[in-house]
């Protein structure tokens, strides 16, 4: 007798739609992620401090959080395909706005616009997956979509950084915007209409929002995603500035870590997706979080290191820290009922973005630049990340127990 349940193979149509959603997530993630390795370039070109850079990164997240709440007021009132196309158009316009920003205030404004529509996209993607993929295959689907972060690191971010190295960082956003236009065309041509959720929620948005907060497991889920994203973004935005200023890595070599690290995370994301379905989201989440403490501690306490060591350490960090999100999102996807799913995912995405933005802003306050040009306080941010990671494990256990024994 086997203890592992066989998981049905994904259908051809499901795979097509999942890959399209992964492409949407790819464009969204490249736009968001590429700003962070561009940190050393932006700090020099725009003459900004670590705190200002943290504000620049967090402005995207705060905008996504607010927009996600507003988006929740009509997320379940329209065809999901229509909302997806509209959000993609707004996101693309925001990305092109980043390309024409000439100073720090204008770039922040452009990031706010892009973040607003990016926040809508992220909530939509996970709501659509929950709508079209049965739970027994959802971990694998989450793994494919979440692996777009790795593909963005392998393909999008290195290309974006190479464009910046050989021309100007503004052309990086031209590249992303152009790719997004192609995604809009494909989404319009092949994505299905999703309307089964329409007409099932007669309550007002604020009544439903109040209803969400009334459920203990919904509240735990929101706190959970806030802390999971926060534990990551205390560190992620400052990885590249720290590598350049403290590890002695050349700015032009940053793209190779994202290339190598992304290749490894593509492999591990698929493995984590399959393992989530087989061994359970809660067990895998706990294991990945505990293992991730090793690269977090090593990276945040590193000094001058060789380029090869940097590639290895950065790749280890990326696979473990980003790998948390696959079992995390799979666990959370069990929490809402079908009628609440669109609103729940929108609010969840807003809370996630708020967690990322808050942690990035707070990290910018902890980390400063010394008179010698090195970053100080990154080790403190690492210890805080580990502490918050332990709290996320406790919350995951509580959520899992509530799913087994509903109130």
The CATH number of whichever domain residue 109 belongs to comes to: 1.20.1250.20
For residue 106, is it within any domain?
Answer: yes
For residue 7, is it within any domain?
Answer: no
pLDDT per residue over 1-33, tens digit each? 333 344 444 556 777 888 888 888 888 888 888
For residue 4, is it within any domain?
Answer: no
Measure the CA–CA gap between 323 and 228, rounded to whole angstroms: 11
Measure the CA–CA gap between 97 and 115, rounded to whole angstroms: 12
| Nearby residues of 74 by Cβ (< 8 Å), 6 or more positions away | 205
For residue 350, is it within any domain?
Answer: yes
For residue 270, is it within any domain?
Answer: yes
Q: pLDDT 10s per residue in the chain (407 long)?
A: 333 344 444 556 777 888 888 888 888 888 888 888 888 888 888 888 888 888 888 888 888 888 877 776 776 777 888 888 999 999 999 999 999 888 889 999 999 999 999 888 877 887 788 777 776 676 777 777 766 766 776 778 888 888 888 888 888 999 999 999 999 998 888 887 777 666 655 566 677 777 777 788 888 999 999 999 999 999 988 998 999 999 999 988 988 888 888 888 888 888 988 898 888 889 999 999 999 999 999 999 999 999 999 999 999 999 999 889 889 988 988 888 777 776 787 788 788 888 988 998 889 889 888 888 888 999 999 999 999 999 999 999 999 888 865 44
How much is the pLDDT for 7? 41
Measure the CA–CA gap between 21 and 343, rounded to whole angstroms: 19
Query: Is the dihedral angle over the CA atoms 50, 359, 312, 155 positive or is it negative?
Result: negative
For residue 67, is it within any domain?
Answer: yes
Closest by CA position to 389, among listed 295, 307, 301, 303? 295
Residue 305 region by backbone torsions, left for phi larger than 0, else alpha for psi between -120 and 50, else beta? beta
Confirm if 293 and 267 have CB atoms less than 8 A apart. no
Question: Domain tally for the chain?
Answer: 1
Domain that holds residue 213: 12-404
For residue 398, is it within any domain?
Answer: yes
Distances (CA, A) of 366 to 152, 235, 352, 359: 28, 11, 21, 10
For residue 2, is it within any domain?
Answer: no
């Amino acid at each position: 007798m086997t203890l592992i349940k066989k998981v049905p193979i994904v259908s051809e149509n499901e795979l097509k739609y999942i890959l399209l959603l992964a492409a949407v997530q790819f464009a969204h993630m490249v736009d968001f992620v590429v700003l962070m390795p561009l940190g050393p370039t932006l700090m020099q070109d725009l003459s900004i401090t670590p705190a200002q850079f943290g504000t620049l990164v967090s402005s995207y997240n705060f905008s996504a959080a607010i927009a996600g709440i507003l988006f929740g007021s009509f997320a379940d009132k329209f065809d999901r395909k229509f909302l997806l196309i509209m959000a993609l158009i707004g996101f693309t316009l925001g990305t092109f706005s980043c390309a024409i920003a000439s100073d720090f205030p204008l770039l922040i404004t452009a990031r706010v616009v892009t973040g607003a529509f990016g926040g809508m996209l992220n909530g939509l993607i996970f709501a659509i997956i929950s709508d079209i993929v049965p739970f027994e295959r959802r971990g694998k689907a989450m793994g494919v979509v979440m692996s777009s972060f790795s593909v963005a690191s392998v393909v999008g971010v290195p290309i974006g950084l190479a464009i910046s190295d050989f021309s100007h960082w503004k052309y990086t956003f031209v590249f992303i915007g152009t790719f997004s236009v192609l995604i809009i065309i494909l989404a319009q041509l092949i994505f299905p209409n999703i309307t089964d959720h329409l007409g099932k929620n007669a309550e007002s948005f604020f009544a439903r929002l109040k209803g969400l907060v009334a459920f203990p497991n919904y509240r735990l889920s929101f706190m959970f995603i806030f802390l999971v994203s926060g534990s990551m973004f205390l560190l992620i935005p400052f990885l590249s500035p720290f590598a350049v200023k403290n590890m002695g890595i050349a700015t032009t070599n940053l793209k190779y870590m994202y290339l190598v690290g992304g290749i490894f995370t593509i492999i591990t994301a698929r493995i984590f997706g399959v393992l989530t379905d087989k061994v359970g989201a809660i067990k895998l989440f706990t294991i990945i979080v505990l293992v991730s403490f090793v690269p977090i501690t090593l990276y945040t306490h590193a000094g001058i290191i060789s380029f090869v060591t940097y590639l290895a350490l950065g790749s280890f960090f990326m696979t473990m820290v980003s790998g948390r999100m696959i079992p995390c999102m799979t666990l959370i996807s069990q929490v809402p009922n079908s009628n609440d799913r669109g609103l729940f995912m929108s609010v969840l995405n807003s809370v996630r973005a708020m967690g990322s933005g808050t942690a990035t802003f707070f990290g910018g306050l902890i980390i400063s630049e010394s008179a010698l040009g090195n970053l100080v306080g990154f080790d403190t941010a690492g210890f805080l990340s580990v502490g918050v990671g332990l709290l996320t494990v406790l919350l995951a256990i509580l959520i899992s127990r509530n799913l087994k024994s509903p109130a």
